[in-house]
Amino acid sequence: MATYELLKQEGSAKRAVFHTVHGDIQTPVFMNVGTVAAIKGAVSTMDLKEIKCQVELSNTYHLHVRPGDKLIKEMGGLHKFMVWDRPILTDSGGFQVFSLAGLRKIKEEGVHFNSHIDGRKIFMGPEQSMQIQSNLGSDMCMAFDECIENPAPRDYVQKSIDRTYRWLVRCKAENARLNALPDTVNPQQMLWGINQGGTYADLRISHMQRIAELDLPGYAIGGLAVGETAQEMYDIIEAVEEHMPTNKTRYLMGVGTPTNIIEGVARGVDFFDCVMPARNARHARLFTWEGAINLKNAKYILDESPIDPKCDCPVCRRYSRAYVRHLFAAEEMLAMRLAVMHNLYFYNKLMERIRESLDNGTFSEFRREYSEKLARKI
């Protein structure tokens, strides 16, 4: 059986199943971000199952720094460590190098930078990133790349994507070597390549064509949502999409709003992740099927209705807007927990409804009804 099973298409939108050793992933899918093997907001892996999470995403750099990937391997790998028996994707650490821009030093062999925790010097290159991710034992591991800031000079972007390609070749060789070792945590770990190129469509296309030749199980579009407009992002996706293999995953990294996701699906993307739903929730900004609300608004003080009357998440089934608002006003931890659970459920339910619309051949109608509506603030 193929790893990626394309079931149906509606225009460029794809409905598929991605097979892993920890279960099948129904796509399009939103991966719930647990940077340090936990969702910020006191949401456990038990909760994740209740709120319809299919895939958890953890961060290579952060887990390498603390508690250490070797410790996690000794504990039997990340699945066992965090008690999660569904698929996990780990990113490569490349975005953290970008985030720690003032602390980095990029060379051909890799990147020298300082830990954000204690300032100690760290070196990470393709081989080190693959080793860390192998120790974690994730189902999908991401290639080590440089996330280019926007805007960036064209000549720098060209040099960067050439180096990112060379790093990908090294990642592929190291991933294969590690998977063959007798003590590897997950010998079925799958490497995904990452397309870069800033907002230069021709550089994006040439880079995508080169990495597609490596025949990896999946591909991502990286380096977006870093300052460009939504339309620029959509234009890049459209330019790259036709050069991405149809029978492989297409992952739009770090994106985004519900509207971004609907528009991404319409352009052929089927994997998404973003910290935004959890981050917004921790500040009482919550998503509903009529648009986003700010629960700190005084108009909700006596509101007995659930956060979203159309939502059947564990929070909306039990608690009122007035109560959750009170928890935020009292600075109770429970406020963040309930809000994060609601927002992540909303995103996971959004993906479920997108999949249902693709199954029924009604995605274009779903997009027409919700793409603009979900961007509203009410």
- DSSP assignments along 272-299, one per residue: EE-SHHHHHHHTTEEEEBTEEEETTSGG
d(CA 128, CA 212): 23
Domains in the chain, ordered, with CATH?
A: 4-274 (3.20.20.105), 284-375 (no CATH)
Active-site annotation holds for 273: yes
Q: Is the pLDDT of residue 10 over 60?
A: yes
Q: Given pLDDT bands bounded at 50, 70 and 90, which one contains residue 98?
A: low
Active-site annotation holds for 359: no
Q: 154: helix, coil or strand?
A: helix
Q: Please report the pLDDT score of residue 371 as a whole number.
A: 98
One-letter amino acid at 237 equals: I
Q: Please report the pLDDT score of residue 101 as a whole number.
A: 53
pTM for this prediction: 0.97
Helix, strand, coil content of the chain in percent (nearest 5): 40, 20, 35
The tokens describing 308, both together, are: 């979203």
201-212 and 230-241 are packed helices; what angle lies between their axes, rounded to 10 degrees? Answer: 40
d(CA 275, CA 362): 29
Q: Which residues pair with 100 in a beta bridge?
A: none
d(CA 352, CA 357): 9
Of residues 91, 145, 270, 308, which has the active-site annotation?
91
Half-sphere exposure (Cβ direction) of 142: Cα atoms closer than 13 Å:
27
The total of other beta-carbon atoms located within 10 Å of residue 36's CB is 14
Q: What is the per-residue pLDDT across 180-237, written as a single tens digit (0 to 9) for each?
A: 999 999 999 999 999 999 999 999 999 999 999 999 999 999 999 888 999 999 999 9
Of residues 47, 69, 273, 308, which has the active-site annotation?
273
Q: Please report the pLDDT score of residue 115 as a whole number.
A: 85
